[in-house]
Amino acid sequence: METARDPDPTSPALDAPGLYLNRELSLLRFHERVLRQATRVDTPLLERLRFLTISSTNLDEFFEVRVSSVKQQATYGVGYRGPDGRTAGEALSEISVRAHGLVREQYRLLNDVILPELRDHGVRVLRRGEWTAGQRAWITSYFHDEVLPVLTPTALDPGHPFPNIVNKGLNFIVQVRGEDFFGRHGGVAVVPAPRALPRMIRLPAGVAGERWDFVLLSSVIHANIETLFPGMDVLGCHQFRVTRNSDLWVDEEEVDDLLHAIAGELPRRNFGDAVRVEVDDTCPRELALFLLDQFELEEHELYQVHGPVNLHRVSALCNAVDGPGLKYPPFVPALPRRLHGDVDLFQVLREGDILLHHPYQSFNPVLDMLRRAASDPDVLAVKMTLYRTGSDSPVADALMDAALAGKEVTVVVELRARFDEKANIDWATRFKDAGANVVYGIVGRKTHAKMLLVVRRDPDGLRRYVHLGTGNYHSKTALLYTDFGLMSARSELGEDVHQVFSQLTGFARLAPLSRLLVAPFTLATELERLIEAEANAARTGRKARIIAKMNSLNEPTLIRALYRASQAGVPIDLIVRGICTLRPGVPGVSETIRVRSIVGRFLEHSRVFYFHAEGDERVYIASADWMPRNMFRRVETATPVNDPALRARLIDEALALSIADGTDAWLMQPDGSYRAVPPSDPPGAQSRLLERHIPDREGFDAV
């Protein structure tokens, strides 16, 4: 029996700034952990390169969204301080220091580690000084045939203002000397590289010196830049790239059609306010300052790099090259044994729930549910939420088939899913054309819940079949992200999902739900109640336990509740992949809280919450992280898993294995830094789950 604890009267107030970390700096630490994967010698070399380029892509989005937001706060926030006590200006200064250090490490790994090791495997990215005469001749021919026709140099003078540079596009700033046909004396010109051009070009057999020889488009253009300025002397040519604010702004209460409003805003994303300029490290200071002046940026917003400014484009090597041991071994996601053969999925669900764990288990049962719904004459209606589904989606195709087959199809399409707006707009239009009822959710709140409802006329009457998940209905990311999905024919779940859809599509007061927790109504308050119940149990000497797995944690009310539970003596394990603004291990406040982050082959994406609840264990899978936006500005669901066998499996696969991970885990320290867990047996959670779900000879696992 655990000993009750009394609060320490000398402990700080639970809203004290010293108990909260900065959100943006916490996110940068996650990007650093991703980059550390590129240093692991036990990871295949091309996968290390992939982690490197993922860290670069992550950093791009960080600037596009988070840095741009903090800059706006610094401009208009009038001294506002966040929960961590920092002003926006103070946060920007620290962000700059850490981001510059991260970029330096990215290029050090690329130039000093990964590219040299790739050369040992016959994979080379050739610099201009390494080209043979034959290679130079081929590259020159390639430039004239494939590149030159689509380049448009802009000489900067009163008649040619600085061009409107697209977000994250590759560009060159060129210094030119001489006099042209119009009598103009040389100066500075800008040459954008169209996005249609491939950034990584493989040299053909007979020209290449190794099996896989590549050149960068930036090198091809640089080597032939004089061709763009005939009769002039080119004094210097330097790559640069600008990153812009990419958040869309639409006043939803002032528009009549959200789809058309967002579609009209999309082109502006490429030309928002600049937040960062990257130039190659050979660029003279006066040219770098000239660029900063053009984009109204300060010196700390300049990043000079030794290599391609569009680092993420190097990821093309990962798809172009295939050699033994250079990539993770392929695997085939398993199917639950209950779905073996040509079974009736609806009959299987009537016999009991199915829990799917992606990517170890296949996403195909979800597709099968949709496809059967489209073709089954007894299915009357299909309702679904779509947040991210991709531009080429079998999920969306199945929904259209159902609509064309005469089913009553309702699709709640979230048009504001960041960076997926265009794909979602396209699908919404196609759904309408197929005869589906398309809505865009609730004004002012994103619909982030993952719900599928099928209404079928069974022999004993109408029955609702549901799928509720932690991840998007995206068949490609289901192979890359870890997520859970519950498929069920339980009437109480079906009724709850029906009620949520009614709230999303019509006018309805919040009806009492028997199973689901729904944001922005009951989720936050119920989570806080469950945490407080564990604290009360610990105070009276009864067993208590909290384990929660999520992507991000920064909701102050829930953090304070966790602090109170820790003060009461509740053992708390938090498995938080990315942002975590809670400080673990603070004496008198969070001594019983441990925070770990799992960074491995797959992106940890599932949200799973466990509460001991006096032995009546409560386990939820959810679409929501513990963030203010998820709790109060989005429509989210948390689903209880009540089947004892499935609940035990969920506790083991989602929580216990992560806590025991001795390969891919990082332990968070009180100051917000992370320490890699020392390697130990057994292996990491992801490796163990891959082994557990390897299909047997018939292609199905036992779960």
Q: Give the tens place of pLDDT for each residue, 419-438.
A: 556 766 777 788 888 888 88
300-317 burial: b if 16+ Cβ within 10 Å, else e: ebbbbbebbbbbbbbbbb
pLDDT recorded at residue 507: 76
CA distance linking residue 639 with residue 250, whole number of Å: 32
CA distance linking residue 544 with residue 532, whole number of Å: 10
Longest dimension (CA), the chain: 91
Q: Which helix (H) or strand (E) holds 485?
A: strand 481-488
pLDDT recorded at residue 252: 40
- CA distances to 25, 546, 667 from 674, rounded to whole Å, are 12, 21, 5
pLDDT recorded at residue 702: 55
**Percent of the chain residues past pLDDT 70, beyond the cut:** 91
Annotated active-site residue 260? The verdict is no
| Domains recognised in the chain with CATH numbers | 140-306 (3.30.1840.10), 335-512 (3.30.870.10), 518-701 (3.30.870.10)
pLDDT recorded at residue 571: 98
For 219-244, what is each residue's pLDDT tens digit?
Answer: 999 999 999 999 889 999 999 999 99
Helix/strand/coil (H/E/C) assignment for every residue in 548-570: EEECCECCHHHHHHHHHHHHCCC
Q: Where are the beta strands (DSSP E) in 16-170?
A: 123-125, 154-155
pLDDT recorded at residue 157: 80
Residue 449 DSSP symbol: -
For 471-483, what is each residue's pLDDT tens digit?
Answer: 999 999 999 999 9
pLDDT recorded at residue 115: 97
pLDDT band at 253 (very low <50, low <70, confident <90, very high): very low
For 129-186, what is each residue's pLDDT tens digit?
Answer: 999 999 999 999 999 999 999 999 998 886 678 888 999 999 999 999 887 766 676 6
- Residues in a beta bridge with 619: 610
The DSSP code sequence of 194-211 is -TTS-SEEEPPTTT-SSS
Task: Identify whether the C-beta of residue 598 lies closer than 8 Å to the C-beta of residue 665.
Answer: yes
**Percent of the chain residues past pLDDT 90, beyond the cut:** 75
Least confident among 45-49, 223-227, 345-349, 434-438: 434-438
pLDDT band at 496 (very low <50, low <70, confident <90, very high): very high
Task: Give which of 501, 504, 498, 493 is closest to 638, Cα–Cα.
Answer: 493
Task: Identify whether the C-beta of residue 701 lies closer than 8 Å to the C-beta of residue 695.
Answer: yes
For 678-700, what is each residue's pLDDT tens digit?
Answer: 887 778 999 999 999 877 645 55
Cα 517 to chain centroid distance, Å, stands at: 24
CA distance linking residue 102 with residue 63, whole number of Å: 13
CA distance linking residue 548 with residue 609, whole number of Å: 4
Q: Which helix (H) or strand (E) holds 241?
A: strand 233-244
Please give the angle made by the CA atoms of 397, 401 and 407, to the nearest 5 degrees.
Answer: 135
Tally: H helices and E strands in the chain: 21, 29
Task: Give which of 286, 60, 278, 264 is closest to 165, Cα–Cα.
Answer: 278
607-618 average pLDDT score? 97
638's CB contacts (< 8 A; 6+ apart) are 516, 517, 518, 523, 527, 607, 609, 620, 621, 622, 623, 624
DSSP β-ladder status, 603-604 and 481-488: parallel
Indicate the residue type of 169.
G
CA distance linking residue 622 with residue 450, whole number of Å: 9
CA distance linking residue 602 with residue 126, whole number of Å: 31
Task: Give which of 533, 488, 497 is closest to 515, Cα–Cα.
Answer: 497
pLDDT recorded at residue 697: 47
**pLDDT greater than 80 at residue 6:** no
pTM equals 0.91
Active-site entry in 238, 448, 605, 612: 448
Residue 661 DSSP symbol: -
Pairwise pLDDT comparison (367 vs 8), residue with the higher score:
367
- Token pair, residue 317, equals 């090597």
CA distance linking residue 590 with residue 588, whole number of Å: 6
pLDDT recorded at residue 182: 65
pLDDT band at 67 (very low <50, low <70, confident <90, very high): very high
pLDDT recorded at residue 1: 32
What does the mean pLDDT of the chain come to? 90
Could you count the other beta carbons within 10 Å of the beta carbon of residue 158?
Answer: 5
